[in-house]
Amino acid sequence: MKYFFALIFFSFPFILSSEIEEDILVMESNWLFMPSIDEINQEEIEFYNSHHFKELLNLSSGVWISRGSGQESLISLRSPVLTGSGACGSFQILEDGIPIRPAGFCNVNNLFEVSGNLASEIEVVKGPSSSMFGGDALHGVINIKTLKTEGDNKFILETDKNESLRSTILLRMLSNKIIALDLDRDKGFRDQSGFDQQKLVFKNFSQSKDWSFNTSINFTNLNQETAGYVDSYLLPRGLENINPEAYRDAKSLRIKTEISKSLNKYDVFITPYFRFSSMEFIQHYLPGKPIEKNGQKSTGVMLKLSELEISNNFFEIGSQIEIAFVNLDQYQPDVLNSPNAFNNAVRPQGYHYDFEVVTSFLAAFISHEFELKDNYNFFSNLRLEHLKYDYDNLMSDGRLKDDGTVCPRGGCFYSRPADTELSFTDYSYRLGVSKFTNIGKIFFQYSKGHRPPQINELFRLQKSQILADLDSEIIDSIELALDNKGNNFFNKLVFYYSKKKNYIFKDSDSSMVFGGKSRHKGIEMQGAKTINNYFSVKYALNLAGHYYDFTDQDIGVISGNEIDTSPNIFGSIFINFKVSNKLNLELEQEFMDEYYTEPSNNYIYKGHNLTNLRSSYVLNDDLRLNLSILNIFDKGYAERADFSSFTGERFFPGIPLKWRLGINYKFN
């Protein structure tokens, strides 16, 4: 499979090329390295009507959303699939340009807190982009643009093989308001699994004198019956759930108003925002199965001056201020009675953590663009951030039980730092140049990204560690790209090489430490070609290598080894057949290369090929039917493979053959 896919990878884009034309595109985000940006438009969002971000983001090259149970996910964006308490800090999730979580307190499953299906567009910015979007954009950004107030009213109803039910309604009131509701009751394909999910978007646009006010409210609620890892992804084992007690309940609310005004020489944007989230779930993968509860309330404001022109130089200048109140506790309801006497002794019944953190965040940023003769364009970004944590431990310090007594066997497994204040000051920047040539637009850029240590890395310690002496992760990257467009095609080709330092990881004593290094290199290709009135093709392909650049043999890391869960090749090719003016078919061939499942590179997942079919049939101007069949050939595969020294190989099984039938109705 690898060599066949590699042949397609290198030959396919060049087959599609032909006469090019210049295309000028202005991004709301002022991020001018266009080949590193993929845009999924509203037409694609409606056609795919995805049940998980993984399905939708297959359209973007270099992106792999690893589907967990229900709505859970892990992200790979020019990176391995990252896990652990700080993994989500490497990817910035935005909603209309505003982070959905406060700085330093991410959620590794945070994509279920936004709605891809209630979006007008999804932007994916790949590569270090902290210099524009903030510290958590170490490997990239996913920006959800909420629905526009203009357009049709819609009602969508869908069912599937598992007798799940999903409905979506969009009501546009007058010309300046919209309310959208997405209701999903999924029964799951594994035993005693599934979820109920509700998502709500409300937007209002108004004007007063020369000022515009664009207000949005986004609410999500998830009640999930979770299925954990199993030791085989093949049937019937792949349908089992060995953790029927597991659940996840999560809520989120975000409110913001973008206040804007166009002046003679620049545009002004003032965006105050408020965010709330809470979550409770069983950590079924840990001995004792403790229950975690966490939440945050945060507020802030973003200020921007855009389109500021000085002597053919264009600037965007801005700042962001926010404060957040974070709480977390972990409680083990029962006495642990496992065969392991040591675990029973050091993981006591009761509270393990109970703390609050007040975070304060301040950032300033500037973007610059300068156009020269001969079709040269220079661009740059610079961002400075200061993040402060004020941590308050609500329990006894150290490795004691919640009643203050000592655990046998040297102390409890969980360790609580004493009250403290920590702060991190970081800067990121990038420099780039582009030139329009007879083969397309050529780009080159150097970028420096960062991410500060997350709250969970600093204050949820284990064993003998009483202080996590961490620093911000840093990544340096160079990219060379070609953007090639014509009347009936486009191609994007990107080469990148990155080195990351201050990599935060757990050592063999379960202490959180930094100083790890890694390097990342790859080629991304994305494009589309209209062949004739009936056939068109699009593709999103990735060839990459992610490697450890340091050695720690105690945890199996050897410099030069491939980082686990980082396939060299993956992507999708989509073949679209317009059978008639009413019927449209699309076949997706999804490729996933083999990858190692642990750092020492001794265990491997062999990869898979999947075939998906999607169709749309127009009954009349207002009514359309959709039929999707996922995994047509009913292949057994793993959405994610892993290896644990305690349990051995383990997998999240992939979805067996599954059909979905929906009806889409437009009305005034």
What values do phi and psi take at 34, rounded to 5? -60, -35
The answer, yes or no, to whether residue 21 has pLDDT greater than 50, is no
Query: Tokens in use for 538?
Result: 């699009």
Look up residue 31 and give its DSSP letter.
-
In this structure, the number of other CB atoms found within 10 A of the CB of residue 545 comes to: 14
Q: What is the reported pLDDT for 28?
A: 43
Question: How far, in Å, CA of 283 to CA of 109, rounded?
Answer: 14
Among 569, 435, 450, smallest CA distance to 498 is for: 450
| CATH number reported for the structural domain that contains residue 88 in this entry | 2.40.170.20
The answer, yes or no, to whether residue 8 has pLDDT greater than 70, is no
Provide the whole-model pTM: 0.94
Distances 641 to 637, 654, 665 between C-alpha atoms, Å: 9, 10, 40
Strand 658-667 relative to strand 153-160, pairing: antiparallel
Q: What is the reported pLDDT for 14?
A: 45
Query: Tokens in use for 319?
Result: 């700042």
Question: How far, in Å, CA of 132 to CA of 128, rounded?
Answer: 9
Among 122, 169, 178, smallest CA distance to 150 is for: 178
Segments of 579-667 assigned E as strands: 583-592, 595-596, 604-605, 608-618, 623-630, 638-644, 648-653, 658-667
Segments of 36-79 assigned E as strands: 37-41, 63-67, 73-77
The model's pLDDT over 146-167, given as tens digits with 9 standing for 90+, comes to 999 888 999 999 999 988 999 9
Among 450, 401, 462, 392, smallest CA distance to 424 is for: 450
The model's pLDDT over 407-461, given as tens digits with 9 standing for 90+, comes to 998 899 999 999 999 999 999 999 999 998 988 899 999 999 999 999 999 999 9
Query: Tokens in use for 212?
Result: 């515009």
78: left (phi over 0), alpha (psi -120 to 50) or beta: left
- Residue 323 and residue 360 in contact, taking contact as beta carbons nearer than 8 Å: yes
556: left (phi over 0), alpha (psi -120 to 50) or beta: left
The answer, yes or no, to whether residue 662 has pLDDT greater than 90, is yes
The model's pLDDT over 271-308, given as tens digits with 9 standing for 90+, comes to 999 999 999 999 999 999 999 999 999 999 999 999 88
The answer, yes or no, to whether residue 633 has pLDDT greater than 90, is yes
CA atoms within a 13 Å half-sphere pointing along the CA-CB vector of 419 = 8
Taking each continuous run of H as one helix and of E as one strand, the counts in the chain are 6, 35
Q: What is the reported pLDDT for 53?
A: 95
Q: What is the reported pLDDT for 403?
A: 95
Q: What is the reported pLDDT for 31?
A: 57
Among 243, 239, 242, 246, smallest CA distance to 655 is for: 239
What values do phi and psi take at 655, rounded to 5? -75, 125
Q: What is the reported pLDDT for 372?
A: 83
Q: What is the CA radius of gyration of the chain?
A: 25
> What average pLDDT does the segment 339-350 reach?
95
More confidently predicted of 308 and 393: 393
Question: How far, in Å, CA of 167 to CA of 554, rounded?
Answer: 51
The model's pLDDT over 211-264, given as tens digits with 9 standing for 90+, comes to 999 999 999 999 999 999 999 999 999 999 999 999 999 999 999 999 999 998
The answer, yes or no, to whether residue 10 has pLDDT greater than 90, is no
> What average pLDDT does the segment 296-322 reach?
93
Q: What is the reported pLDDT for 204?
A: 95
- Residue 142 and residue 99 in contact, taking contact as beta carbons nearer than 8 Å: no
- Exposure pattern of 185-222 as b/e (b: 16+ CB <10 Å)? ebebbbeebbbebebbbbbbbeeeeeeeebebbbbbeb
Distances 117 to 88, 469, 635 between C-alpha atoms, Å: 22, 41, 27
The answer, yes or no, to whether residue 12 has pLDDT greater than 70, is no
Ordered strands of the 140-146 beta sheet? 37-41, 119-126, 140-146, 91-95, 98-99
The answer, yes or no, to whether residue 583 has pLDDT greater than 60, is yes
Question: How far, in Å, CA of 632 to CA of 634, rounded?
Answer: 6
Question: How far, in Å, CA of 59 to CA of 124, rounded?
Answer: 10
Range of the domain at 9: 2-667
Q: What is the reported pLDDT for 33?
A: 65
Per the structure, the count of domains in the chain is 1
Question: How far, in Å, CA of 481 to CA of 492, rounded?
Answer: 7
More confidently predicted of 3 and 329: 329
Residue whose tokens read 């001018």: 32
Question: How far, in Å, CA of 10 to CA of 12, rounded?
Answer: 6
Q: What is the reported pLDDT for 16?
A: 45
> What average pLDDT does the segment 573-589 reach?
96
Identify whether 236 is preceded by a cis peptide bond (ω within 30 of 0): yes
3-state secondary structure 591-610: EECCEECCCCCCCEECCEEE
Q: What is the reported pLDDT for 371?
A: 85
Q: What is the largest CA-CA distance in the chain?
A: 76
The answer, yes or no, to whether residue 3 has pLDDT greater than 90, is no
The answer, yes or no, to whether residue 32 has pLDDT greater than 90, is no
The answer, yes or no, to whether residue 578 has pLDDT greater than 80, is yes
**What is the average pLDDT value for the chain, to the nearest integer?**
92
> What average pLDDT does the segment 117-131 reach?
94
In this structure, the number of other CB atoms found within 10 A of the CB of residue 183 comes to: 15
Q: What is the reported pLDDT for 645?
A: 81
The model's pLDDT over 481-530, given as tens digits with 9 standing for 90+, comes to 999 888 899 999 999 999 999 999 999 899 999 999 999 999 999 999 99
Q: What is the reported pLDDT for 29?
A: 46
* Partners of residue 229 on adjacent β-strands: none
In this structure, the number of other CB atoms found within 10 A of the CB of residue 439 comes to: 10
Q: What is the reported pLDDT for 650?
A: 94
Query: Tokens in use for 58?
Result: 């297959």
Element (DSSP H or E) covering residue 311 = none
Strand 119-126 relative to strand 37-41, pairing: antiparallel
Q: How confident is the model at residue 2 (pLDDT cuts 50, 70, 90)?
A: low
